[in-house]
Amino acid sequence: MGLGDIFWPLIARTRELRDMSEGFRSVGFNDKAFETCLVAAGLVAVCLTLFLIGRYARRFENLKSYDNAPELFRELCRVHRIDWSNRRLLKRLAAEWEMTSPALLFVEPERFNPARLPAEWQQQALQLESLGRLLFEPTIAATTSPF
């Protein structure tokens, strides 16, 4: 028994198979295609409009996300105008103190005290002390101001 013997009865009865499937075929498919394209174009237009409104709104919010510790550290260094060599020094100091983020150095002035520095950091004591003054003296002056 060959393949021809199996498929010949099916080929001979194509009219009956076509009649069985007519209920599943859409009448006037071309009309529905145009309507489907219109709906799809409308959805794309709505999505594009929402996307552009979101971008426009975020552009003027000017808010930064500080959930990212390296981004926070970069922004703090930028605001305080800390150069690249001092940024590397701050990162090394944070690693020495086993801090989770170097950004924590911006809220802990005691980390810049030369007396608290380990012996191998005494060479950078003056540089760290001047960094500490840069970061915390304006804050100290503002809190001790009589006004």
Q: Is the CB of residue 87 less than 8 Å from the CB of residue 94?
A: no
Of the candidate ranges 34-38, 109-113, 137-141, the one whose mean pLDDT is the lowest: 137-141
Residue of 52, 49, 103, 114 lying closest to 80 (CA atoms): 103
pLDDT > 80? residue 119: yes
pLDDT the model gives residue 142: 44
Residue 91 has pLDDT above 90, yes or no: yes
Q: Is the full-model pTM beyond 0.75? A: no
- What is the structure's pLDDT at 89? 92
CB environment 100-130: b (16+ within 10 A), e (fewer): eebbebbeeeebbeeeebeeebeeeeeebee
Are 102 and 90 contacting, i.e. CB atoms less than 8 angstroms apart? yes
Q: Which pLDDT value is given to residue 35?
A: 82
